[in-house]
Structure 1
Amino acid sequence: MMISKLQKTTRSVYTMRSVHRSATNALPTLVQHAVVERPAPQETVTASFGRFISGLGAEHLTPTVLQRSKRMVLDSLGVGLLGSTTEVFELALEHCQQMYAPDYISSVYGRTGTKLSPTLAAFVNGVAVHSMDFDDTWHPATHPSGAVLPALLAVSDMMPPNRKPSGLDLLLAFNVGIEIQGRLMRFSNGARNIPKRFHPPSVVGTMGSAAACANLLSLDPSQCSHALAIATSLAGAPMANAATQSKPLHIGNASRLGMEAALLASRGLEASPLILDSVTGVAGFNAFYEDYMPLPLNLDKDKGHSFLIEVQDIAFKRFPAHLGMHWVVDAAASVNKLLVGIHSGTVSASQVKEILLRVPRSKYINRPFPECEHQARHSFQFNACSALLDGEVTTQSFTADAIRRPELAALLSRVRVEHPADNPANFDRMYGEVQVTLDGGDVLSGRCDTFYGHWRNPLTNESLRKKFRSNAGAVLPRKQVEDLIEAVEALDDLQDCTPLLLQLQ
């Protein structure tokens, strides 16, 4: 098909040239001047993205980019391994095993010996990463790693042994996927706030997965552009499914469908050449962001290009809940310390008359009485009260028994919420404030402007490894956990990524 298309294009060019020659016979000077003076067509935004994805090389990866992206890879793997113990992951895996014939190619997180076709492995592993809302977060708000890494690992698995990508190839493709997400979101002011209409990873994550896979597959610039355009038709998920078992599917689908887009583009499938351009009267990527104002990407490092991850670090979560919860938890934990000091080491709901939370206005994370773990992970009230009682929030805070505690229910019934004008729904500018009025009338307050783990106050390498060991250790033996840490930290030195892939089997 591609040959016949090329022949057809060539014939069209020959026809145009014959007409052009007859015209120049009649008006030689005018036509020749018109041809010489016609300005070269300006590169479209979509074409610049394709050229950018195809043209990035290892020389663009600075030590800062390498170090930060390896931290992201390690955290995402740990979160995904822990996520393989959840009910939603089990449901997704059973579905794929029963409805589709397995190809036994790509590994599944936390299931030694279990393999699926590459696209299905990307799907279930993406689901695992977000199944507990424990994955990394960026600004503008999205979960960047979960949509990209599972797809890249699945593509690496499907490559023959003599063509496995190097560790540096994998890191480059990973950073391409992260970069495309960040660039697209920074073309919209609205994207900078906590989302209301759709879940960002289901949109930009799909684009990031497509870009990352296109880079790893060494697609040419035109194919990379088509991969993004195809991915746009596969993107999107409404916020109504937040705080349900379906929310993790957003990440799984972003990983899978972005990979599918790149594979389809590699076969020659085409899509709109203007999908990322702001074209009047034609809805492309601007269907997602009404104030979308794109700019071309430039590969020339001398003109100031650097990876966004070099400029802004990533937020890593210390407990599995929506990022907004981390502000109120740190604020409430500081009040817990005051309560423990006053009441000799014990905290009881009977001591508390009222709890006031000052948080941003965001409907889907304002849940006064959550009934299940997924709602609890998206509830200011639940997380603040859990931290008041226990001094912290952990994985165990979201078990059914913890959610149903009478003491917790009593505290929840005493919560009042305010939304100060100076507290926007923006992860770069918001704060969390907890004010507790005791039964005797005393008032205790705690406030958090930047929690530990935020990009302004990042986790140390020691803290990040501790989180990884806890998460991965839930499903892997200790030696394998340590081998994974070693493989990720040495990823840029690996001649091929097989040692990493073997640790996930």
Structure 2
Amino acid sequence: MALTKELAGFVGSLRFGDVPPAALPFIRSAFTDCFATLVAGRVSEPARILRETLDPPPGESRLFVDQGTARAPEAAWLNATAAHALDFDDAAQKGHLSAVLVPAILAEADACDADGRAMATAYAAGYETWAELLRREPGLYHNHSWHPTGVFGPLAAAAACASLRGLDARHTAHALGMAASRSGGVIANFGSMTKPLHAGIAAHAGVMAARLAQRGFTASPDALEGSKGLMRGISPEGRVDVDSPVLAGRDWKLPRDGVNIKKYPVCFATHRALDGILDILAEQVVPAGDVKRIAVTISRRNKSTLRFDAPQDRLQAKFSMQFAMASAIVAHRCGLQELDDALVQRADVRELMRAVEVIPTDEEAGDRAGEAPVDVVQLQLQDGRTLRREVDYVRGGPERPLLPGELFAKFESCLQAGGLAADARPLFNALMAVDELPGTRALYALAESREIHP
């Protein structure tokens, strides 16, 4: 089976009318949430250092790092890194799909003068490309050191940009083949500035692959499925399926799997446990001094992803269940304000972190590879009582979507964190109807209603 060719055929023929209506709410939420996290992340150290290092000349695409412009590849690189810098962007298909796709799409939409329908179609093309490749591997990439954001992000971004540029199947296949040689990203870099760079590199790679393919740059026709191709090369267990027909466009994943809007700016592996402990604390006041032990049961895959039992700074704290639980108890939340080096080093927080035990389970949910059927939080108190919660689906996911107003509250707080003084409501409304926009200029006009002050 010619996987590369068939997948390129899906991308090359996709039109807005082919996108299931049930997918559109997820696409709108993804653009809205990613734009917010991009603005919040633009004042982060990774975004600042990358901007100063690249120092790109002005171009056709908008930079939200400082409201300047750059050529589309550099704009996608910078904006995607900023979008993932705080780990507050949505999660889907075992990675951070929107932090790659949305910046790449916005950058190329600027260059192509594409409208909202084209942008929504491009997102669908990228999402389904990522999902199609992910479904073929029975093993877990996280267990084999691979970060799916860095591995599948270049291919998804290449598909999205090929769609925006109207590439036919032949040219799209070359774009996918080039993107396959840009795949990478290791779990070992979690907790460092390089993790958000995975998203930035992926977005840049996708933009470049589509542009090169359009000009006649070629790649191997079996770059994905060949005996020396990407899918076999990265397979954790050597059991990847490269022979079955492509389901993209026939069995749509986006309307079913959707996106998980993150309530907390920490690794997604902590979120169900955070939901559980915050539910406990909402019902009962628990002073830190009353806590004897906090036992959290999660999947073995998620435990291995949370690499830091005793984090030393805010970057490591994002990948620490110990910090997530301690933050919830001392601050009754785990938000952007809590991701602070001073809080991570505070004596009472460190004492609470030592009271957290993370217990792995090998039991898996049938519909969610790598996830336990439930995450369990047990809060043992000094007086002998144990408060317990089991959480099956995370808040912000398709099964338990955010409550009315919660997405806007996150959007508004992210704009404030990033120093964007524009009126949040009109900008939010425009993004929540992204497929109806006449183009990116209408969006940027709302973002420029007042100046950005980093």
Q: Please give the per-residue CA displacement for 1:179-227, whole angstroms capped at 9, x wherever unaligned.
A: 1011110111114x75441110111111000000011111111110010
Q: Please give the per-residue CA displacement for 1:275-316, whole angstroms capped at 9, x wherever unaligned.
A: 222x4x4333321223221333368x7xxx153111222111
- Contact 1:385 1:412 (8 Å CA) reproduced: yes
Shift in CA distance, 298/179, structure 1 to aligned 2, threshold 3 Å: closer
Query: Which residue of 2 is the match for residue 240 of structure 1?
Result: 188
Query: Which residue of 2 is the match for residue 138 of structure 1?
Result: 92
TM superposition shift of 1:367? 2.0
Query: Which residue of 1 is the match for residue 350 of structure 2?
Result: 409
Please tell me whether residue 154 in structure 1 is matched to residue 100 in structure 2. no
Which residue identity is paired with 1:59? Answer: G
C-alpha distance in structure 2 between counterparts of 1:504 and 1:127, whole Å: 20
Please tell me whether residue 386 in structure 1 is matched to residue 327 in structure 2. yes
Of residues 153, 158, 176 in structure 2, which corresponds to 1:205? 153
- Contact 1:329 1:387 (8 Å CA) reproduced: yes
Query: Which residue of 1 is the match for residue 133 of structure 2?
Result: 184
C-alpha distance in structure 1 between counterparts of 2:315 and 2:435, whole Å: 37
C-alpha distance in structure 2 between counterparts of 1:284 and 1:325, whole Å: 30
C-alpha distance in structure 2 between counterparts of 1:166 and 1:416, whole Å: 50
TM superposition shift of 1:443? 2.3
Gaps of 5+ in 1: 1-42, 341-345
Of residues 415, 439, 444 in structure 2, which corresponds to 1:472? 415
Which residue identity is paired with 1:347? Answer: P
C-alpha distance in structure 2 between counterparts of 1:493 and 1:339, whole Å: 45
Shift in CA distance, 250/135, structure 1 to aligned 2, threshold 3 Å: same
- Contact 1:107 1:504 (8 Å CA) reproduced: no
Shift in CA distance, 388/433, structure 1 to aligned 2, threshold 3 Å: farther
C-alpha distance in structure 2 between counterparts of 1:489 and 1:311, whole Å: 19
Matches within 5 A, 1:481-492: 481-492=424-435
Q: Please give the per-residue CA displacement for 1:349-378, whole angstroms capped at 9, x wherever unaligned.
A: x32222222222232304221011111111
Gaps of 5+ in 2: 449-454
**Local SS of the residue matching 1:354:** strand
Point out the structure with max Rg over C-alpha. Answer: 1
Q: Report the more deviating stretch, 102-111 or 321-330.
A: 102-111
- Contact 1:89 1:127 (8 Å CA) reproduced: yes
Query: Which residue of 2 is the match for residue 286 of structure 1?
Result: 232
Query: Which residue of 1 is the match for residue 47 of structure 2?
Result: 89
Shift in CA distance, 416/489, structure 1 to aligned 2, threshold 3 Å: closer
Shift in CA distance, 126/435, structure 1 to aligned 2, threshold 3 Å: same
Of residues 245, 258, 264 in structure 2, which corresponds to 1:319? 264
C-alpha distance in structure 2 between counterparts of 1:151 and 1:333, whole Å: 35
Query: Which residue of 2 is the match for residue 397 of structure 1?
Result: 338
Q: Please give the per-residue CA displacement for 1:362-398, whole angstroms capped at 9, x wherever unaligned.
A: 3230422101111111111110121123322111111
- Contact 2:293 2:381 (8 Å CA) reproduced: yes
Of residues 293, 298, 317 in structure 2, which corresponds to 1:376? 317
Please tell me whether residue 121 in structure 1 is matched to residue 66 in structure 2. no
Matches within 5 A, 1:47-62: 47-62=5-20
Please tell me whether residue 103 in structure 1 is matched to residue 66 in structure 2. no
- Contact 1:331 1:448 (8 Å CA) reproduced: yes
Please tell me whether residue 418 in structure 1 is matched to residue 359 in structure 2. yes
TM superposition shift of 1:110? 4.5
- Contact 1:339 1:347 (8 Å CA) reproduced: no
- Contact 1:223 1:266 (8 Å CA) reproduced: yes
Q: Please give the per-residue CA displacement for 1:66-118, whole angstroms capped at 9, x wherever unaligned.
A: 22201111011001110112111111111111xx5x13322112523x11221
Which residue identity is paired with 1:284? Answer: L
Q: Report the more deviating stretch, 426-435 or 453-462.
A: 426-435
Matches within 5 A, 1:441-452: 441-452=384-395
Please tell me whether residue 359 in structure 1 is matched to residue 270 in structure 2. no
Which residue identity is paired with 2:27? Answer: S
C-alpha distance in structure 2 between counterparts of 1:195 and 1:149, whole Å: 27
Which residue identity is paired with 1:49? Answer: L
Query: Which residue of 2 is the match for residue 270 of structure 1?
Result: 218
Q: Report the more deviating stretch, 407-416 or 260-269.
A: 407-416
**TM-score normalised per structure 2:** 0.91
Q: Please give the per-residue CA displacement for 1:431-469, whole angstroms capped at 9, x wherever unaligned.
A: 322223222322222332222112321224532122112
C-alpha distance in structure 2 between counterparts of 1:327 and 1:274, whole Å: 40
Q: Please give the per-residue CA displacement for 1:326-363, whole angstroms capped at 9, x wherever unaligned.
A: 111122223334551xxxxx612x32222222222232
Percent identity, aligned pairs only, is 26
C-alpha distance in structure 2 between counterparts of 1:110 and 1:154, whole Å: 13
**TM-score normalised per structure 1:** 0.82
C-alpha distance in structure 2 between counterparts of 1:491 and 1:339, whole Å: 41
- Contact 1:207 1:232 (8 Å CA) reproduced: yes
Shift in CA distance, 416/315, structure 1 to aligned 2, threshold 3 Å: same
Which residue identity is paired with 1:282? Answer: K
TM superposition shift of 1:426? 4.2
Shift in CA distance, 156/321, structure 1 to aligned 2, threshold 3 Å: same
C-alpha distance in structure 1 between counterparts of 2:129 and 2:284, whole Å: 46
Alignment RMSD, CA only?
A: 2.1
Which residue identity is paired with 2:411? Answer: F
**Local SS of the residue matching 1:433:** strand
C-alpha distance in structure 2 between counterparts of 1:85 and 1:454, whole Å: 27
Shift in CA distance, 494/337, structure 1 to aligned 2, threshold 3 Å: closer
C-alpha distance in structure 1 between counterparts of 2:395 and 2:230, whole Å: 38
C-alpha distance in structure 1 between counterparts of 2:209 and 2:261, whole Å: 29
Shift in CA distance, 137/391, structure 1 to aligned 2, threshold 3 Å: same
Shift in CA distance, 482/336, structure 1 to aligned 2, threshold 3 Å: closer
Number of aligned residue pairs: give it.
440
- Contact 1:173 1:212 (8 Å CA) reproduced: yes
**Local SS of the residue matching 2:294:** strand
